[in-house]
Structure 1
Amino acid sequence: MTDFFHPLMSEQALKQCSSLALAHMGDSVYELMTRGYLIHSGLVTNKNLHRKTIHLVCAGAQAAGAQAILPMLTEDEQTIFRHGRNAKPKSTPKSSSVAEYALATAVEALFGWLYLQGSYDRLNELFTVLLPAAQEWADNQRPTRRG
């Protein structure tokens, strides 16, 4: 039976993946890690989990987190990141700038690449550094209540 939960790929197979294909995988990896973090941190209501997840997985939060992990990337990781940043998706969401979306795509491509090669410890290391910056960005985006 094929293990689709841990779809390890060879270096040669990974080189054949486009940056957008890596970002496609990395998007789900990043969201799964975010959801795992939120559940582990004690959020229990579906409304709170969903709201917080949306705030942390958006392009702006990922772009903020990208700035935090850039200094710690290896040469190979920098190459994947750069290719992801330079990928040209067909559209960008209205809720983010082109620059934010490019950085978010870079993070997702990197996370997809690391996941597909089985570098789970490195994913956790980068996510741990990225998360506080993403949280700070998300916290600063919330509208204030008028009362």
Structure 2
Amino acid sequence: MDYLHPKLDDAAIARMSSLALAHVGDAVYEVLVRSYLACGGTQTARNLHSHTIALVRAGAQAQAAQRILPLLTEAEREVYRHGRNAKPKTVPKSASVAEYAQATALEALFGWLYLKQQYDRINALFDVIAQAF
């Protein structure tokens, strides 16, 4: 199996829980942020790390979700809604329950798009998010 570009059919993706999609999407989103920052200029490793942490925390992801919500297709909205309604066991102290729910929803969406190999859509949505960085 190609773990970098997994090929799952729609039924296999549909069987995944929202938290499983968010687990994948968390990594996808962090790679996008890291790539954006690293390719953007002359930052030190320390600055790259601190900027990455600031942009991937739940509060920042909740704000990112609000930027792209109006642009989502009906199918994407459904994935987002299921992700938002997922019940994680813990919520970090640095985030409200609402922020964490929105962050989980954003991650589920990015995980779903990644597993569906919709890389152009991922880039288009992330571009909207990155305009606020």
- Range class of TM-score, shorter chain: over 0.9
CA-atom RMSD, angstroms? 0.9
Count of residue pairs the alignment pairs up: 133
**Deviation at 1:46?**
1.0
Distance in 2 of aligned mates of 1:23 and 1:5: 16
**Runs of at least 5 residues in structure 2 that lack an aligned partner in the other structure:** none
Where does 1:41-80 land on structure 2 (aligned, <5 Å)? 41-80=40-79
Distance in 1 of aligned mates of 2:23 and 2:42: 27
Secondary structure of the residue aligned to 1:96 is coil
2:97 corresponds to: 98
Q: Which has the larger radius of gyration?
A: 1
**Deviation at 1:23?**
0.1
**Runs of at least 5 residues in structure 1 that lack an aligned partner in the other structure:** 136-147
Distance in 1 of aligned mates of 2:82 and 2:131: 25
Distance in 2 of aligned mates of 1:65 and 1:34: 12
Secondary structure of the residue aligned to 1:89 is coil
Question: Identity percentage over the alignment?
Answer: 60
Runs of 4+ in structure 1 deviating by more than 4 angstroms, as ranges, are none
Where does 1:130-145 land on structure 2 (aligned, <5 Å)? 130-133=129-132, 135=133
Q: TM-score, normalised to structure 1's length?
A: 0.88
**Deviation at 1:9?**
1.3
